[in-house]
Structure 1
Amino acid sequence: MTGRFPIEDVSPVVSCGRYPAKAVVGERVPVAARAYREGHDALGCNVVWRGPDGVTRPFTRMRPGEPGQDRWHATIAPDAVGEWTFSVEAFQDPYLTWQNAVTKKIAAGQGAAELANDLAEGARVLDAAAELVPAAERERVVAAAAALRDDDLAPPARVAAALDLADLLWAHPVRELVTAGEEHRVWVDRERALFSAWYEFFPRSEGAVPATVDAPARSGTFATATERLPGVAAMGFDVLYLPPIHPIGRVNRKGRNNALTAGPDDVGSPWAIGAEEGGHDAIHPDLGTPEDFRDFVAAAAEQGLEVAMDLALQCAPDHPWVTEHPEWFTTRADGTIAYAENPPKKYQDIYPLNFDNDPEGIRAEILRVVLHWVGEGIRIFRVDNPHTKPFDFWHWLIAEVKKVDPDVLFLAEAFTRPAIMHGLGKIGFTQSYTYFTWRTSAAEMRAYCEELVAAADYMRPNFWPNTPDILHESLQHGGPPMFKIRAVLAALLSPSWGLYAGYELFEHVARPGAEEYLDNEKYELRPRDWAGAQAQGRSLAPFIATLNRVRRENPALRRLRNLVFHEIDNPALLCWSKHDPETGNTVIVVCSFDPRVVQWGNTTLDMPALGFDWHDRFTVHDELTGTSYDWGQRNAVRLDPYLQPAHVLTVRRPVPPEGPAAAPTGPADLTVEAVPDDLSGGTAPTSPAPKDDDRWTS
C-alpha cells in the first residue's frame, strides 16, 4: 500500500495472494476491502482492474457495507479468458464531504455569510469535476459551479444544482490523496469451467457384443459409441467424459468384479494403462484408430457435446515406460516395482509413478502427453486421483498447459481430506469432485454447500450422484424416488454436475459388502438396451432432460455464489434459491430427502434474497409439472416421493397493476398450494411400497 489511507482484508485473495482467485467470463465477481480514515471527511473506494491484454478497464466505484464496519463492496465482470489483476484504491472524496456539511448547515438555518467558505469550496470541487465527467454533462457541472458563486441567489437555490449532481459525481468522482492497494490476481476461465453437465460412458460398452459359447466377446468401438451420442445430447448434457481409452495392460490384469485372475475374455480395467501397443498417447486398438477418435470427437461436437478425457498418471506393468524409464517408479526392498495400494485395497495391475527420481524427465513427458491430446482437440481432462501426486507438479503442469491453450480445464477426482481438496483448487484445478454423495440429510447438505460457497473464490464443485466406483447405499435401497431426489440435488445445487451411465436406468445392485456396482463396468463390457428402456418407460432420461433444460434456461442456475438457503420447518426437506440480479431470474427449489413417504413443510423465505420486499406476493411456475402457485414469504408444500419429490419453481415477476391495487385473494402469510391430481395419472400412495423389488419396477 502506498498513500494515506489504510486498505485491509481485501478479497478475493487466495492464500495471501500466492495463487490467483477464480472466475469465469461474465461472472459478477465480488470484491471487498476494509478501508477507513481519520476525522469526519468522506472516504471513497474503487476497484482498478486490468485484463489479460494489459489494458486497464474503467474503475468500478465501491459502496459501503454495514454501517460502522468500514467494509466496501463492488462487483467486476471480466470479459475475457486469462489472468486479470485488480487493486483497491481509497481516496478523499471532497464532493461528499462538502455535500454532507452544506446540507446540515442549511438545515440549521445558516445564511450566506456563514456559508461563504462552503460555497466557495463547493465551486472549487465542481471546477475539478468538470474536467472528469463525460463531455455531455460538462455544461451541467459548470452551471452548478456558477450558481454556487451567484451572490444574488439564496443559499438553498445556490446549492440545489450542485446537490443534484450526486449520482453523476458518484460515478465520476473527484479523487484526492489517492491510496493504491496491492495488486491481486484472478484467473478467468471460459464459462464451462463453472457451468457444465457431464455424462460418463465407456465407449467399449456401446455396441459391445457379450461372449457366447460359440464366439468371444466383441468390444464396442468409437464408431458404435457414436450411435449413443444423440441420446446423451437429448438429455441435455454438454460434456461427455470418457474413461481411459489407451491400451490396457495384460500383466496382472484384473477379472470380473476385481478378481485377481483374469479369464481369456476379460477386458481389464481401462485405468491399468499401457501395453505393447503403447501408453498414454496411444489408443486401444479395439476402439479404433486415431482417425476414428477424431471422427468421434467431431460427431460429439455436432451434438453439442465436448469430449473430456481421463488423465490417469499410472501404468500397467507392461507399459512402455516401465522398461524405458524404470527410475519413474518405486523399487521395493526385494527389487520388485511397487504396485498401487489403498489399504486394504490392492491394485496389482497398476504401478504408481515416482516423481522424485527424475522430476524433470517425468514432467516433460507428461506435459508432452497432455499437449498431444490438446492437439487432438481435447480441452477438458478429468484427472484421476490427483491427491496422490505432488502438488507442485500439478501447479506447474496446469500453468504450462494454459500457456499453450488457456481454455483447457481440469477436473480433480479427489475424494480425500478437506484441506487437500481445497488445496488442489487453489493450485489450479478448475473443478473438483466433492462429498456430495455422502451428504444424505438436508442439514448435512446445507452445511456442506455453505462451506463450498465460502470457498467459491478458488474451488468449484461438481456434484455426481454416482460414478463407476461409487454406488451409495441410498441409491442401493432408495428406489426410483431416490434417483430423482439425488438428481435434483446435484443438478440444481451446483452449477456443474454429472452422471455415470446406467443411472437413468436405475442401476442399483451392489457388490455384497461394497459401495460399488456388482458386475462393475470397470472390468467387463456392459452393453445396455437404452431404446428398450425408454420405450417401456423404465428410464429417468426424460426427467434428467427436464433438469438440464431448466439449468440452461435460467441464468441464476449458472452460478455458485448466489446459492441461498431458506428456512423450512421439516428436517426432511431442503429449500434453496438462486437469484440473478442482472436478469431478475430467480429459481426456488424445495426437495425432499425421504424416498418413502409424503412430507409436508412450511417455508419462511428470505424475501430480499429473492429481490422482493418482505410482504410481496408473486407467482411461481413448477417446471416439473407445469403448475403455477401464488407465493409469498410463507408457503406450505407437499412432496410425494412417487409423484413429485421436489418443486423446481421459476419466479414470475408481478406486473404493477394499473389503477387501484387489487384486493388480496387470500391470507398474506400462508399459501396452501393445490395438489394437482394429474402428475402421474393416478392417486398418490399413502404409504411406501412393501418391497424394494416392487419399487424398481414401478
Structure 2
Amino acid sequence: MNDRLAIDEVRPLVSCGRFPAKSVVGEVLPISATVWREGHDALSASLVVRRPGGASSRTTMVPGMEADTVHALLTTDTPGMWSFRVEAWSDPFATWTSGIVKKMDAGQGADVLGNEFEVGARVLDTGAAQASAAGQTDRAALLADAAIALRGTGDARTRTAPALSAEVAAAMAAGPVRELVTFGQTYRVWVDRREAQFSSWYEFFPRSTGGWDEQGRPVHGTFATSRTHIDHAADMGFDVVYLTPIHPIGVVNRKGRNNSLTPEPGDVGSPWAIGSAEGGHDAVHPALGSIEDFRGLVEYSATRGVEIALDLALQCAPDHPWAQAHPEWFTVLPDGHIAYAENPPKKYQDIYPVNFDLDPEGIYAEVLRVVRLWTSLGVRIFRVDNPHTKPADFWSRLIAEVKRTEPDVLFLAEAFTRPARMFGLAKRGFSQSYTYFTWKTTKADLVEFCEQLLAHVDEARPNMFTNTPDILHESLQRGGPAMFAIRSVLAATLSPAWGVYSGFELFEWQPVADGSEEYLDSEKYELRPRDFAGAEAAGQSLAPWLRTLNRIRREHPALQQLRTLRFHAVDNDQIIAYSKLDPATGDCVLAVVSLDSHGVQEGTVTLDMAALGYSDDARFSVHDEVSGNEFHWGSSNYVRLEPWTAVAHIVVVPPCDEARRVELTYRTHIVD
C-alpha cells in the first residue's frame, strides 16, 4: 500500500476490518475517514465502491465538519457483499486556485505571476486531456479554453477569470486531476434485504391455535388453525410471525404444567424438547399436520404480507433420533448419563445440549442439511435459540455458507447475554440480536443502553422484544395495562425491529410466583388458546395501540433505522424524549414517553435543536400521530402525559433542508 498520504480512522470499521460492517438495501450508509499530509498543498479523497458481482464506481468525498475529515454517503440497492476503500490524493487544481487567489488579493499582478499562470494552465491541460479521453468534448474544450486564457494577455484578473469560474470548478470536480494517489485498505459491508433492519415480530405457539371443544377444553392447534393467528398478527401490522418449535416433542422426561417433573396423561410437553420416535429437527409434530401443510402455511402467510420465522433450537429431547444415532454428539457424565441442559437455577431435564466439540464436522453437516431443508420450504428467517451456548466459529461458518447461495436468509440471535457475546455473534453473521431491552426500565438505563447500541450500529441490529415465553418482567406484572402500552411504544420507536409474544395484547401479567419472570400456567408446557376478537370487542385488548404503532412505523422512514437516534433533555426522570431523522426523505419523528403507568407526569422537554436540523430560536408546528393534535413547538415545550389517556406523544417534525440532513447524517456516524 502506498503511504505517501495518510488515511486514518476509516469508518464503518468492525474489529479492524476482520468482519464486514452491516447495512441493508436502501439504507444511507455514512463512510468517513481522516486524510492528511505535510505542508499546505490541498488534498482530497475518493470513495471506491465495488458491488456484488464486481462492478465498481469512484466518487469524490466531501470535506467533513472537522478539519482533515472526509465523508461520503453510500446507498446500496442489492443484497450481498459490497466493499469500499478510500483513496487520498493531492489536488493540484485546488492548491493552485487557493494560492493564486491569495497572491492576487495581496496585490500581485500579471508581471510577477507568470509561473503561477503556467502551473495552472498545465493542470487544466491534464484535466482537458482526461476529459477528451473520456469522450467528454464539451468539458475538454472548456478546460482547454481556460488554459489558453491563462497563457494569454491582460491583467491577472482577466487571465484567471475563466479558470476560477464556477463552470471550470464543476468541470474539474467531475474529473479531478489526481496526484500522489494513495490507496487505503479495502473494507467489506454485508448488505441484507431491508427486513433485516426493519421488521415487526409477533410470536405464537401454533399448537395453541385450536380453540376449545364443547366442554371448554383446549384443542391442539394445527397449521390450518394457525392461519387465524397469522390473520390476527397481520391485522395488527406485524410482518414477521415467529413460530415456536414445530417439531415432534420428546416423551422421555417430558415436563408437565408449570414445569412439573411429573406430567399428567395428555400433557403436551415443551416444544423446545425437540425430537421423538416421530422425528427430529427435519420433521413436524404430527398433531400440527404435515410438511406440506406447513408449506401451505408459509404460502398463506405471504398472501397476508407476513413472513414465517422458524425456530432453530439445536438441542434434543432424550428420545431425539440424534441421541440414538449419534450419542457421540452429547456430553456423558462420569456416571454414564448424558448431561441435560441447565441455566441455574433453571433445569431442563427434558433437553440434551449438543456438544459441538465432539464431532464438529458431523454436527455442522447435519445442521446445514436441516437449514437447507426449511429454506427449500420457503423459510427465509430463523430465530436461533441460545446461540451464545454454541461455538462462535460454528455460526460464522454456517451462516456464511447459507448466505453464499441464499443471501436473503436472515438469522435472529436469541442471545440474552453479555455485550461481548451479543455483539460478537452479530459480527459473525447474525442479522438481528435480542437485547437487554426487557430489563431496561428507567430513563438512565434506557439512554445508556441505546447509546451502547449506537456505538455498535455498524455491526449489530437490535430487536427489542417486550416479552417472551420466558420473560415476564416485573414492570409488566405490577404496572397495569398502561405499562404494556409504555413498553410497546418504547420498543417500537427506539428500535427499527421489535416484537411481542402472544398474550401481550391481552395484558397477561401473572407470574408463577413472586420474584419469578415465568408466566403462571406457562404456554411452554400447556395449550393456551385465546379469544383475541372477544377481548378487543370488550375493550380489553392492546391490539388497537399495537396497530397504531405499526402503522406509524410503516409511514415514517425515520423510525425504520437506528443511526440517527438522539435523546433530548426533560426535567422529569419519569419522561423520556428522543428523535430520529431519515437522511433520505427528511422525515423526522420525536417521541415523548411517560415511564409511569400509574400517575400523571408533567415536564419541560428541551430539544437539541441542532439534532433536528434547526437553529435554537426556530419554531415549528408538529403533528401528534397518537392524538391527531397539532402543537406549536420550539426549543422548550411543556408536556403532560396521563396513563389513562395517552402514555406518549409521537410527533412529526417538519424536515430541515437537505444540506443540513446530510451534515447530520455524517455527524451521527461519529459516535463513540
Structure 1 stretch displaced more, 52-61 or 424-433: 52-61
Correspondence for 1:430: 431
**Structure 1 residue 472, shift from structure 2 partner:** 0.4
Contact 2:565 2:580 in 1 (8 A): yes
Contact 2:197 2:461 in 1 (8 A): yes
Structure 1 pair 156–568 and aligned structure 2 pair: CA distance change class (3 A) = farther
SS at match of 2:191: strand
CA distance in 1, matches of 2:284, 2:474: 35
**Structure 1 residue 139, shift from structure 2 partner:** 3.5
Correspondence for 1:73: 71
Instruction: Spell out structure 1 runs of 4+ moving beyond 6 A.
Output: none
CA distance in 2, matches of 1:560, 1:307: 24
Across the two proteins, how many residue pairs are aligned to each other?
A: 650
CA distance in 2, matches of 1:470, 1:415: 11
Structure 1 pair 654–362 and aligned structure 2 pair: CA distance change class (3 A) = closer
For 2:623, give the aligned amino acid.
H
Structure 1 pair 610–264 and aligned structure 2 pair: CA distance change class (3 A) = same
For 2:465, give the aligned amino acid.
W
Correspondence for 1:551: 553
Contact 1:379 1:408 in 2 (8 A): yes
Contact 2:5 2:35 in 1 (8 A): yes
Correspondence for 2:670: none
Structure 1 stretch displaced more, 232-241 or 568-577: 568-577
**Structure 1 residue 2, shift from structure 2 partner:** 1.6
Q: Do residues 2 (structure 1) and 5 (structure 2) align? A: no
Structure 1 segment 94-113 matched on structure 2, within 5 A: 94-113=92-111
Correspondence for 1:404: 405
Contact 2:28 2:583 in 1 (8 A): no
Structure 1 segment 257-272 matched on structure 2, within 5 A: 257-272=258-273
TM-score (norm 2): 0.94
Structure 1 stretch displaced more, 544-553 or 111-120: 111-120
CA distance in 1, matches of 2:178, 2:57: 17
Contact 1:208 1:525 in 2 (8 A): no
SS at match of 1:112: coil
Contact 1:208 1:220 in 2 (8 A): yes
CA distance in 2, matches of 1:654, 1:189: 29
Correspondence for 1:246: 247
Note the residue ranges of structure 2 that are not aligned, 5 or more in a row: 658-672
SS at match of 2:162: helix
Correspondence for 1:31: 31
Q: Do residues 453 (structure 1) and 454 (structure 2) align? A: yes
Correspondence for 2:126: 128
Q: Which whole-Å deviations, capped at 9, do the CAs of 1:296-332 have from their partners, x for residues lacking one?
A: 1111100000000000000000001111000011111
For 1:635, give the aligned amino acid.
N
**Structure 1 residue 442, shift from structure 2 partner:** 1.1
Structure 1 pair 112–609 and aligned structure 2 pair: CA distance change class (3 A) = same
For 2:464, give the aligned amino acid.
F
SS at match of 1:515: coil
SS at match of 1:498: strand
Structure 1 segment 90-489 matched on structure 2, within 5 A: 90-132=88-130, 135-152=137-154, 154-163=155-164, 164=166, 165-209=168-212, 217-489=218-490
Structure 1 stretch displaced more, 326-335 or 162-171: 162-171
For 1:623, give the aligned amino acid.
E
Correspondence for 2:664: none
**Structure 1 residue 257, shift from structure 2 partner:** 0.8
Correspondence for 1:687: none
SS at match of 2:460: coil
Correspondence for 2:11: 11
SS at match of 2:161: helix
Correspondence for 1:596: 598
**Structure 1 residue 136, shift from structure 2 partner:** 4.8
CA distance in 2, matches of 1:601, 1:135: 64
SS at match of 1:72: strand
CA distance in 2, matches of 1:653, 1:27: 18
**Structure 1 residue 612, shift from structure 2 partner:** 2.1
**Structure 1 residue 653, shift from structure 2 partner:** 4.7
Note the residue ranges of structure 1 that are not aligned, 5 or more in a row: 656-698
CA distance in 2, matches of 1:144, 1:547: 59
Contact 2:61 2:70 in 1 (8 A): no
**Structure 1 residue 135, shift from structure 2 partner:** 4.8
CA distance in 2, matches of 1:639, 1:171: 54
Q: Which whole-Å deviations, capped at 9, do the CAs of 1:597-656 have from their partners, x for residues lacking one?
A: 21122222222321223322221100011101111222111111221111101123599x
SS at match of 1:85: strand
Contact 2:243 2:309 in 1 (8 A): yes
CA distance in 2, matches of 1:26, 1:135: 35
Contact 2:588 2:655 in 1 (8 A): no
- 2:639 corresponds to which of 637, 640, 649: 637
Structure 1 stretch displaced more, 593-602 or 240-249: 593-602
For 1:90, give the aligned amino acid.
A
- 1:560 corresponds to which of 551, 558, 562: 562
CA distance in 1, matches of 2:171, 2:412: 45
For 1:560, give the aligned amino acid.
L
CA distance in 2, matches of 1:208, 1:281: 27
Q: Do residues 88 (structure 1) and 89 (structure 2) align? A: no
Correspondence for 1:672: none
CA distance in 2, matches of 1:268, 1:411: 25
TM-score (norm 1): 0.91
**Structure 1 residue 430, shift from structure 2 partner:** 0.7
Structure 1 pair 598–136 and aligned structure 2 pair: CA distance change class (3 A) = farther
**Structure 1 residue 370, shift from structure 2 partner:** 0.5
Contact 2:211 2:530 in 1 (8 A): no
For 2:532, give the aligned amino acid.
W
SS at match of 1:59: strand
SS at match of 1:228: helix
For 1:331, give the aligned amino acid.
V
Contact 1:599 1:640 in 2 (8 A): yes
CA distance in 2, matches of 1:128, 1:507: 73
Structure 1 pair 294–652 and aligned structure 2 pair: CA distance change class (3 A) = same
Structure 1 pair 619–172 and aligned structure 2 pair: CA distance change class (3 A) = farther
Structure 1 stretch displaced more, 130-139 or 603-612: 130-139
**Structure 1 residue 365, shift from structure 2 partner:** 0.4
**Structure 1 residue 358, shift from structure 2 partner:** 1.2
Structure 1 stretch displaced more, 204-213 or 618-627: 204-213
**Structure 1 residue 194, shift from structure 2 partner:** 0.7
**Structure 1 residue 176, shift from structure 2 partner:** 0.6
Correspondence for 1:538: 540
For 2:567, give the aligned amino acid.
F
Structure 1 pair 209–478 and aligned structure 2 pair: CA distance change class (3 A) = same
For 2:23, give the aligned amino acid.
A
SS at match of 1:58: strand
Contact 1:605 1:634 in 2 (8 A): yes
Contact 1:47 1:62 in 2 (8 A): no
Contact 1:621 1:652 in 2 (8 A): no
Structure 1 pair 208–329 and aligned structure 2 pair: CA distance change class (3 A) = farther
CA distance in 2, matches of 1:166, 1:571: 53
Correspondence for 1:43: 43
Q: Which whole-Å deviations, capped at 9, do the CAs of 1:377-406 have from their partners, x for residues lacking one?
A: 101000000000011101111011111201
Correspondence for 2:609: 607
**Structure 1 residue 242, shift from structure 2 partner:** 0.3
Correspondence for 1:498: 499
CA distance in 1, matches of 2:612, 2:139: 35
Structure 1 stretch displaced more, 421-430 or 163-172: 163-172
CA distance in 2, matches of 1:210, 1:645: 39
Structure 1 pair 608–654 and aligned structure 2 pair: CA distance change class (3 A) = closer
For 1:46, give the aligned amino acid.
S
**Structure 1 residue 131, shift from structure 2 partner:** 4.0
